[in-house]
């Protein structure tokens, strides 16, 4: 009987130790590495696809049913791609008047960008034309990452010279902020599947961090193919998710499953 009991416990332990849990983003995370003239799409722990940019460097991206990329400087050209990286034939000319913009965002009606070094937050039409300054955070600190939050019609902005991520209304009022693990924050994006924030850093290229909007770190994911890629821009796809083979369970789900499986082991022991 003792051997049968030990067998039940071993089965539980083996299951827990060999199960593989999804750690990366649930939705497709589109990343732009303009210095390497490459756009990337990652999901879960895998690189889904990558493609060469039509004109390098393209950095800010606005992602919906297509990827709308543009150069970082005033008057720079841009390109629309399918989510598979195929050029649609639509091109853009940035309406940016001054400054450099490396990350972008979209609410489906407008695109948004953050001017590095000046603190200006700018709204554009979907083709990156007609810039309108929404508010200015000032030049005392540099900013780069930006993403739109549809749950409260706001913008999240990542610090470059500071390790801070902040949430602002479209009028520039501070809603909340939290400390990030590193400065030089890049490719800030909100995963619509679970409403969590993802971002990278130029200090840790290839590694991306997942945080709740309350500032709790949930996970990290490193993609070896991206460790030398300067992925300053990043946004999530609004397209339906591509099925993945790895089960997706958060920390709470894993803990609950562990308790249940341990209970099965105890039940086996009690019957022996």
Quick check: 149 pLDDT over 90?
yes
Quick check: 92 pLDDT over 60?
yes
Task: Name the nearest CA neighbour of 106 among 65, 159, 160.
Answer: 65
Taking the CA atoms of residue 223, residue 225, residue 231 and residue 233 in that order, the dihedral angle to the nearest 10 degrees is: -70
Quick check: 15 pLDDT over 80?
no
Quick check: 109 pLDDT over 90?
yes
Quick check: 123 pLDDT over 90?
yes
Quick check: 3 pLDDT over 50?
no
The average pLDDT across 10-25 equals: 49
Confidence of residue 65 (pLDDT cuts 50, 70, 90): very high
Query: What pLDDT, on the 0 to 100 scale, is given for residue 22?
Result: 52
Q: Are 62 and 106 contacting, i.e. CB atoms less than 8 angstroms apart?
A: yes
The average pLDDT across 241-245 equals: 41
The average pLDDT across 206-215 equals: 98
Query: What pLDDT, on the 0 to 100 scale, is given for residue 117?
Result: 86
Q: Are 245 and 19 contacting, i.e. CB atoms less than 8 angstroms apart?
A: no
CB neighbours of 207 closer than 8 A, spacing ≥ 6? 200, 201, 220, 221, 222
Residue linked to tokens 């039509």: 54
Sign of CA dihedral 32, 36, 38, 40: negative
Query: What pLDDT, on the 0 to 100 scale, is given for residue 17?
Result: 39
Sign of CA dihedral 99, 65, 192, 31: negative
Tokens of 183: 């400065």
Tokens of 145: 């990452």
Q: How far apart are CA 230 and CA 87, in angstroms?
A: 22
- Among 130-139, 172-181, 222-231, 240-249, the range scoring the smallest mean pLDDT is 240-249
CB neighbours of 49 closer than 8 A, spacing ≥ 6? 40, 41, 84, 85
Condensed to tens digits (0 to 9), the pLDDT of residues 71-90 reads 999 999 999 999 999 999 99
Confidence of residue 237 (pLDDT cuts 50, 70, 90): confident
Query: What pLDDT, on the 0 to 100 scale, is given for residue 219?
Result: 97
Query: What pLDDT, on the 0 to 100 scale, is given for residue 141?
Result: 80
Query: Between these two residues, 5 and 32, which has the higher pLDDT value?
Result: 32
Query: What pLDDT, on the 0 to 100 scale, is given for residue 89?
Result: 98
Residue linked to tokens 């409260």: 152
Which pTM was predicted? Answer: 0.81
Q: With pLDDT > 70 as the criterion, what percentage of the chain qualifies?
A: 79
């Amino acid at each position: 009987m003792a051997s049968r009991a030990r067998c039940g416990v071993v089965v539980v332990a083996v299951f827990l130790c060999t199960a593989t849990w999804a750690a990366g983003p649930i939705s497709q995370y589109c990343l732009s590495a303009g210095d390497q003239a490459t756009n990337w799409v990652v999901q879960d722990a895998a690189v889904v696809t990558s493609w060469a940019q039509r004109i390098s460097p393209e950095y800010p991206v606005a992602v919906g049913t297509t990827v709308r990329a543009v150069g970082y400087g005033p008057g720079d050209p841009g390109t629309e791609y399918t989510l598979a990286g195929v050029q649609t034939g639509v091109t853009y000319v940035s309406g940016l008047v001054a400054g450099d913009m490396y990350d972008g965002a979209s609410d489906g009606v407008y695109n948004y960008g953050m001017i590095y070094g000046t603190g200006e937050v700018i709204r554009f039409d979907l083709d990156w034309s007609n810039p309108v300054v929404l508010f200015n955070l000032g030049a005392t600190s540099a900013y780069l990452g930006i993403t739109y939050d549809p749950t409260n019609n706001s913008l999240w902005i990542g610090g470059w010279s500071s390790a801070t991520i902040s949430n602002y209304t479209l009028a520039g009022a501070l809603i909340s902020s939290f400390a990030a693990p590193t400065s030089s924050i890049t490719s800030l994006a909100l995963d619509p599947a679970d409403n969590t924030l993802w971002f990278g850093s130029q200090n840790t290229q290839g590694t991306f961090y997942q945080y709740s909007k309350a500032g709790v770190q949930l996970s990290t994911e490193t993609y070896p193919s991206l460790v030398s890629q300067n992925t300053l821009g990043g946004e999530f796809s609004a397209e339906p998710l591509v099925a993945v083979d790895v089960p997706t369970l958060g920390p709470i789900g894993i803990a609950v499953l562990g308790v249940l499986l341990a209970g099965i082991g105890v039940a086996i022991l009690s019957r022996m």
